[in-house]
Chains A and B, each alone.
Chain A
């Protein structure tokens, strides 16, 4: 994707987001008291103003990009295989989602250990032994600091509880 194409996509995205905010999100998800007479002081004013300027910025981006000449060749990519890269992205997204949902159930420490190991596997680290040792020790050390030094109540989960 060239910088020109990217700018057109961004600009178009900003215009769409601006319209969605003005016509859908703000009327439905921003409430205002009925006795506010002055629009400038209304809770609706600021989000509407920002949405308007977002749309204006998007329009500026599209117009500027259209005025820029098309590049002769496509920009180089930073990955060899886009398909595999996207699959890896999907996996890290799944790891993140699983982390959020597993934390109340498994506890922060065990979830963090699994997240560490899964991420290390995903990036195919050549230092698997170090990764596994670190996957156990790093969350434990952080637990010791946050639970016993900083006094944070770290969620323990339903299974193994730490002192």
Chain B
């Protein structure tokens, strides 16, 4: 099929009221979720997932993508108004956003955050459309050994960069891989850690593990230390961003967007490093260098462009290779699987209408983000005032219903609570949860490809280095490990400098 045919097929899927409603609703939920201190874009996407089960695949996935995009922008609102980033990705926005709010220019800072976010989002979506298809057609040449090395590389980089230490990330990934072995063996169908319990024969439910790891620890954390947010909410002021100011910052916004696209397309890096890199580049190149950190509008623009530039790009490895780039795309991958779809190169052949439908929906989501974001800035006061003592019990109830609804199974609710305690312990010990979840999802795929490769070669390990693609991924894996170990050694030798850089 030609590009136009694909586009038309996609349009026929999304050109209806439900899809646009899902997208608009998703962005609204995301902005609110991201804006509530204590919730996050990740939790908002995870809690929305069970509501998509009764929808068509495209509507459900558009809803989740809307939540994702709204959540990333929503995090900037409390970052600017109460100096509390709603999501980790908005940490760089605090640097200049809050000083602007202190000067009575909160409205201007939020306006610039919104304009920069929408521009970056659009650039990121266009990059996804441009690169995902190309990468998928290349990935059609992959066999089991290539997929094995690709997944191994992805897990290595995710384990390495998700937390402060490669070893803690690696431990998290190992635990995720071990949990993924629960259930019947993929080849022989024999029991592995099922304890004769029929509920465990299909493996642990992904959504129970996900919500347990990312929502329940927040509730337990709230019980451990029940404090309200301390920040004082600033008023918006009367200054609003002008087109002239947007034009002045456009160079930083475009640069930040491309930094976001580049870092977002590498599994594991995420939005926060991208926002900081974009911010530091903008400061390095700006004639007002000394004003950064004291309320420079270009700083807000660069940080927001950096974190929103990631949003579309993280879908590149997911759609083209079937490898989630971060936790949110892992949840979206779960949504694909719940609806009987397997992201990866074959999806560009078998479900090309859904792919193009998503592309169209993503472009439209940038416009929704602009409209809903403008309203959300004015309505933040009401969101910030939601009492945490009521919010978190509500989240608990939402988790119980959501997890039960997946399989109509009470056992899954128990799994969710158990995983919640695992997640809370991981938080207390500074062990990142992202490698755990992504390893849990990719574990069966990694093992399956490994065993298929071994079957193909008569158990000769040489098949894992059979050609340039496997060499490429092995080289990247080795380079990643060396780079992370070197960075770790440097940080240990010079902890003061390390903390400064953070």
Of the candidates B53, B167, B394, the one whose C-beta lies within 8 Å of that of A60 is B167
Cβ–Cβ contact B405 & A152, under 8 A: yes
Q: Is the CB of B429 within 8 A of A6?
A: yes
A-B contact pairs, 24 of them (CB 8 A): A6-B429, A25-B193, A30-B192, A31-B190, A31-B191, A32-B190, A36-B188, A38-B459, A64-B492, A79-B224, A92-B223, A96-B420, A111-B400, A112-B400, A112-B401, A117-B393, A119-B396, A123-B223, A125-B388, A125-B389, A126-B387, A130-B390, A142-B401, A146-B401
Interface of A is mostly: helix
Contact digits for B389-427, partner A, Cβ 8 Å, 1 yes 0 no: 110111011101100110010100110010011000000
B residues with CB within 8 A of A: 51, 53-54, 165, 167-168, 170-171, 174-175, 177-178, 181, 185, 187-188, 190-195, 219-220, 222-226, 387-390, 392-394, 396-398, 400-401, 404-405, 408, 410, 413-414, 417, 420-421, 429-431, 447, 450-451, 454-455, 459, 492
Chain A positions within 8 Å of B, measured between CB atoms, are: 3, 6-7, 9-11, 14, 21, 25, 29-33, 36, 38, 40-41, 43, 46-47, 50-51, 53-54, 57-58, 60-61, 64, 67-68, 78-79, 85, 88-89, 91-93, 96-97, 99-100, 103-104, 108, 111-112, 115-117, 119-120, 122-127, 130-131, 134-135, 138-139, 142-143, 145-146, 149-155
Residues of A within 8 A of B54 (CB): 149-151
Task: Please give 13 more A-B residue pairs, beta carbons under 8 A apart, in addition to A50-B174, A57-B170.
Answer: A25-B193, A30-B190, A30-B192, A30-B193, A31-B190, A43-B187, A64-B492, A92-B219, A92-B220, A120-B390, A124-B389, A126-B389, A155-B410
Contacting residues, chain A, for B397 (C-beta < 8 A): 112, 115-116, 138-139, 142
Q: How far is the CA of A133 from the CA of B206 in the complex (A)?
A: 32
Residues of B within 8 A of A40 (CB): 451, 454, 459
User: A99 and B400 in contact (CB under 8 A), knowing A104-B410, A124-B389?
Assistant: yes
Q: CB within 8 A of A50: which of B177, B185, B394, B401?
A: B177
**A10-B429, A100-B417 known; A150+B53 contact, CB < 8 A:** yes
Q: How far is the CA of A57 from the CA of B447 in the complex (A)?
A: 20
Whether A3 contacts B190 in the complex (CB less than 8 A), given A116-B397, A125-B387, comes out as: no
B454 / chain A contacts, CB cutoff of 8 Å: 38, 40-41
Q: Contact between A131 and B220 (Cβ–Cβ < 8 Å)?
A: no
Question: Is there contact, CB below 8 Å, between A115 and B226?
Answer: no
CA distance A133 to B87 in the complex (A): 29
Q: Please judge, given known A-B contacts A31-B191, A50-B178, whether A125 and B390 are in contact too, CB under 8 Å.
A: yes
Closest CB pairs A-B (n = 3): A125-B389, A150-B54, A43-B185
Give CA–CA (A153, B407) in the complex, Å: 10
